[in-house]
């Protein structure tokens, strides 16, 4: 079994000697995953393995989220959003030694 978790928040501060500036919004990413596997021997040289993995990623990036292609004048953006997903993987494998 394997468990992984990560929680990141990045602060960006811009300094300008000529004018006062406000900090930019934070960049945030939360990722967690859990996986489990089970191996079963079938005879002396063959093994069957079952695996299950659950993963989740939530992130926010002010440079991507809610920035539509026409949000900024004279700037062409692609309307992307920060990565977010939930995933479930289930697989089986069969190995044989010669």
Note the pLDDT tens digit of each residue in 28-65: 999 999 999 999 999 889 999 999 999 999 998 887 78
Using a cut of 0.75, tell me whether the model's pTM lies above it: no
Domain boundaries, the chain: 39-98
Specify the residue for token string 């004279």.
Answer: 74
Tokens of 77: 């953006």
Considering the chain, what percentage of its residues have pLDDT values greater than 90?
54
C-alpha separations of 80 from 8, 26, 59, 62, 67 in Å: 21, 18, 13, 11, 8
Predicted confidence at residue 76, as pLDDT, reads 64
Residue 58 half-sphere exposure toward CB, CA atoms < 13 A: 5
CA 77 to chain CA mean position, Å: 22
């Amino acid at each position: 079994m394997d468990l992984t978790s990560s929680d990141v928040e990045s602060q960006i501060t811009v300094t300008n000697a000529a004018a006062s500036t406000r900090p930019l919004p934070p960049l945030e990413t939360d990722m967690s995953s859990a996986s489990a596997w089970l191996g079963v021997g079938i005879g002396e040289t063959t093994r069957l393995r079952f695996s299950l993995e659950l993963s989740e990623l939530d992130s926010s990036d002010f440079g991507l989220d809610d920035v539509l292609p026409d949000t900024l004048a004279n700037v062409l953006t692609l309307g992307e959003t920060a990565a977010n997903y939930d995933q479930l993987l289930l697989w089986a494998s069969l190995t044989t030694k010669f």
